[in-house]
Amino acid sequence: MDSTKAPLLGKTLDELTQIVLDLGMPKFTAGQIASWLYGRKVASIDEMTNLSVKNRERLKECYEVGATAPVHEMRSVDGTVKYLFRTPEGDYVESVYIPDADRATLCVSSQVGCKMNCKFCMTGKQGYTNSLTAAQILNQIYSTPERDTLTNVVFMGMGEPFDNLDEVLRALEILTASYGYAWSPKRITVSSVGLRKGLRRFLDESDCHLAISLHSPFPAQRQELMPAEKAFSIVEIVDILRQYDFSKQRRLSFEYIVFKGVNDSLIYAKELVRLLRGLDCRMNLIRFHAIPNVDLEGADMETMLAFRDYLTQHGLFATIRASRGEDIFAACGMLSTAKQQANKQNNETV
């Protein structure tokens, strides 16, 4: 990729229209470019054959498609594939392809590192480096070998999507717009710790599904696990969510990693039922992927089943998310951290 040229990938139709007008091309050329990018997913401007040679040359002077292939991949015995992408700044982000019967989900990242510093998350241990552009977010989909098999995309990779909301919303527009991927918003889920500055805006400006990282219904304990609780409590989050209608197409879910001896007893299940009573939502119980230097363990399956059954029996629909890719560092941030550490060691020995 030529760092002197701007990527066309990640541009909305309005932005493409401005580009072609600035270059003296007909306005309708913007729609043609969008079709080549998001419909046919071309690798180069030269492939946009319904543009005149003159216009293609004009476009190539300042722009390129901007797609870059993953630099590394790891394949699990269960079919899960983790891809590592390199940013122009030399940082790394991950995406994970998860095939499951008739579904194929891609988990994408929105930032390099993360500011949230959740105790159980490897990405948080990296600290925050940068936010991805819409082009870099979409490139994870565009350049994944299995892209044409995807049924769903989840923003549950590295970073906090609401901390990079402008670029995330731009990517969501392109994924769902008729000029873009034309996906139904029901195929896309965005996960967040629940940042105040982004929650209402996301709910007002997007129809995609929302998943909130909860992990404890007790504010003091949630703050120990997730420092973001101090700035914006789960109680406030739930109060805002009650003002929106989730009874139709948009789905609201809560993510709850079940930690052994920490948040896995029925006291927690009872408090979750109380906290979320009357809210149209579901609970995703998640097995914990152990990460280095963190004194947390995953609960056993018997405990998780009892937890799930209590929630469901008391009106809070709950499922246990299948654990995937444990043999390939599937927990967010582990592969990119390993790559960064290896690069640092190589530089030190040179």
Catalytic residues: 94, 332
Is residue 257 within 8 Å of residue 215, measured between CB atoms?
A: yes
What Å distances lie between residue 243 and 191, 200, 203, 204, CA to CA?
Answer: 19, 10, 10, 11
Q: What are phi and psi of 208, to 5 degrees?
A: -70, 160
Q: Report the first-to-last Cα separation within the chain, whole angstroms.
A: 26
Is residue 290 within 8 Å of residue 297, measured between CB atoms?
A: yes
DSSP string, 53-106: HHHHHHHHHHEE------SEEEE-TTS-EEEEEE-TTS-EEEEEEEEETTEEEE
What Å distances lie between residue 77 and 61, 84, 172, 326, 329, CA to CA?
Answer: 45, 18, 31, 9, 12
Pairing mode, if any, of strands 252-257 and 282-286?
parallel
- Classify residue 333 as left (phi > 0), alpha (psi -120 to 50) or beta: left
Query: Using the 8-state DSSP alphabet, how is residue 153 labeled?
Result: E
Q: How many beta carbons lie within 10 A of that of residue 323, not counting itself?
A: 15
